[in-house]
Structure 1
Amino acid sequence: MSPPLGSAAVSQAADIRGQRTDGPRDGGVPTLLVASGRGGAGSSLLSALLAVSAAGDGQRVLLVDADDFVGPLALMLGAVPRACWADLRGGRATPADVATPVSATLTLVAGGAMRLADTGAATTINAVERKACMRRLGALTDGMDLMVIDCGARLDAVLSAVTPHRGERLVAVSAGTDPVGLAATYALCKAVRQRHRTLPVDVLVNRHEGSDAARCYDAIDAGARQFLGLTLRLAGAIPADPTLDAALRAGMPFPDAAAGSPAAIAAHDVVMRVLAARPSSRSGA
C-alpha cells in the first residue's frame, strides 16, 4: 500500500519523471492523453486546468479536444474556432486552419462536428480517419512545450491519439472511491495496456485529496500490478473546488475563474512535474 497522500514517499510516487526503460526512445513534445473510464469524471475540466495553468506559467501549450460530437473545450474557453480537427479529413482544412489562439501561450484545436463539410457529405468519422487527423496535428507541435489531449471517456479517442513517443503518457482520471468508478478506471488502463504496452500510465484523482485520494490510487494500482503487471504512477490529486464551479456556472471566463483556485494550483503542480521530465531531444529542436 502507498503511504498517505502528502508524505515524502507519495511525493516520490507522484513524481512522474518517468524511469521506465521499455518505452519508445524518440523525442517529442511532452503529451498528456487525459481520459476517464466513464463519463462525468471531469476529463475536460482537468484538461483545461492543466493547459491553462501551464500557459499561465509561460509554457506554450497545444490543447486538443478529441471529442467529435460536442467538443466542450471551445465553449469552456470562450473560443470561436473556424474549423475543428475533424475538418482535416479529406484535406478540407490544414493544421493551421484548425489552430485557434486562446492566448499568447495557449492554442486550442477544437472538437465537435465538422464545420467545413460539403453539403450532403458524410459527417461521421471512422477510426482510420480519426487517427489520420490526429497525426496531422503533429505539425502544430513545433515550438510547443506541452500538448494536452482531452480524450474524454472514449477508448477510440485515446487509441487514435497515441503516437507513440517518449514524452507521451496516459493520464487516467478517477473521480471517486466507489467500486464502479474504480473499476472503470482500471478497465481503461487495461484496454490501453493491451494495445500499447510501453505507454506510461498515471492516475490523476479528481474531486478528492488526502487519504481519500490515496485510497483511490492504491486500489487501482493494486489491480494493475496484480492482473496487468503494470505499475501506475500517481500524477496528483485535484481537490473539489466549489468556488471554481460556482464561478464557471456564473459565466466567468475559464482562465479568470481558474486563476489562483485550489484546483488550478494542484493542476499546475502536475504540469510542472511533467515538464521537468521532458525528453532531452525534441522534434524540431
Structure 2
Amino acid sequence: MDLSPIQVIAVTSGKGGVGKTQVSTNLAIALARRGQRVALFDADLALANVDVALGVNVRACSADVLAGRRSLAEVVHIGPAAIKVVPSASGGPLPTPAQLAGLIHAFSDIANDLDVLIIDTGRGIDPIVVSMACAAQEVLVVVCDEPTSVAGAYALIKHLHLVHGVCRFHVLANMTRSPEEGVYLFRKMLKLTERSLDVALHYLGALPFDEQLRTSVRKQRAVVEEFPRSKCAVAFKTIANRVYGWPLPSAPRGNLEFFFERLL
C-alpha cells in the first residue's frame, strides 16, 4: 500500500468573483495532464458550483456523506483528465464541526489513488473556509486588482495567521492585463502583511484576462481543455508546473488535517 504524503491545496479568496473556482478546476486538470492523480473537492458547501463549471452530472455529493447515506468513495465523479470530483450541494444545512471533521477524515477512503487534493473553498473568513484552509498543507489565495479583493485577501490571511497559526501562503494574481500587474499586486499584498504579520507570502504567478476563459465558462468547460493554446491555458500550465515542484508535507501541523495518518 502506498503511504506517501498527499499534497493538499486549499484554493481560497477574500471575496467572491475573483475566479477561484476556475483556478481550482483548471489547476486540477493541468496537474492531471502532468501525470498526477488528482481529486477536486468542492468545499463551498453553501454555493457549490464545481460540477456546473465542469459540466458534471451529479448523482450524489458530500451532503450524502455528511448525512451518512454514502461513503466518500461513492460520491466521487470522474471529470476531465480523469480527475476525481467530489461535488457538494448548494443551499443545504451547513455541517456541524463534528460532521465536518468526519468529512475530512472520510477522504482517507480514496487516499491510495491520489497524489494531490485540491479544495475549492468558499470565500472570506467563514468557519468552513477557515477549517478547510487549516486542514490543508498549502493555502493558495486568489486575488485580483480591486480594493475589495485585496482587503478581503489580507483579512483572510490575517485571520488564518493570528487565530489559527497559518504562516505560509501562496498568492495568485488573476485577471491581470500584464505580468507586471501581477507582480505589482503581489507587492501590494506583501506590503500589507509586512506591517503587522509574521507570515511568508510566495508569489505563484499571474493569470491574464482572457476572453477565451469566459467562453469556456459559458460552455461549462475548463479553458485548459477547450482552448489549450490560449493565453490563460498556457499560464495555468505554468502555474501547474510550479505547484508540481512544491515539496510534499513531511509532518502534521497539529490541526485537523486531510490524510493525517500519512503524516505521522
- TM-score normalised over the length of structure 2: 0.84
1:132 paired to 2:102: yes
1:74 paired to 2:51: yes
Choose from 176, 189, 201 the match for 2:157.
189
Q: What number of residue pairs does the alignment pair up?
A: 248
Task: State the 1:236 CA deviation.
Answer: 1.0
Q: Give distance in 1, aligned partners of 2:118 and 2:227.
A: 17
Q: Give distance in 2, aligned partners of 1:105 and 1:199.
A: 33
Q: Give distance in 2, aligned partners of 1:88 and 1:51.
A: 22
**1:201-220 alignment runs, 5 A limit:** 201-208=169-176, 209-220=178-189
Other-structure match for 2:148: 180
Q: Give distance in 2, aligned partners of 1:145 and 1:40.
A: 29
Tell whether the 8 Å contact from 2:144 to 2:174 is kept in structure 1 after alignment.
yes
Amino acid at match of 1:99: V
Q: CA RMSD in A?
A: 2.5
Amino acid at match of 1:234: Y
Other-structure match for 1:268: 237
The runs of 5 or more residues in structure 2 that have no matched partner are 251-258
Other-structure match for 2:194: 225
Q: Give distance in 2, aligned partners of 1:112 and 1:173.
A: 23
Other-structure match for 2:130: 159
Choose from 99, 114, 126 the match for 1:144.
114
Task: State the 1:238 CA deviation.
Answer: 0.8
The percent of aligned pairs where both chains have the same amino acid is: 25
Task: State the 1:269 CA deviation.
Answer: 1.8
Secondary structure at 1:232 match in 2: strand
Secondary structure at 2:200 match in 1: coil
Task: State the 1:66 CA deviation.
Answer: 0.6
Query: Cα deviation per residue 1:37-64 (whole Å; 9 max; x = unaligned)?
Result: 0110111011111011111222211001
Amino acid at match of 1:58: G
Task: State the 1:153 CA deviation.
Answer: 0.7
Q: Give distance in 2, aligned partners of 1:189 and 1:214.
A: 18
**1:77-88 alignment runs, 5 A limit:** 77-88=54-65
Are residues 258 and 149 of structure 1, via their aligned partners in 2, closer, same or farther at CA, if it must alter by over 3 Å?
farther
Secondary structure at 1:253 match in 2: coil
- TM-score normalised over the length of structure 1: 0.78
Q: Give distance in 2, aligned partners of 1:162 and 1:124.
A: 17
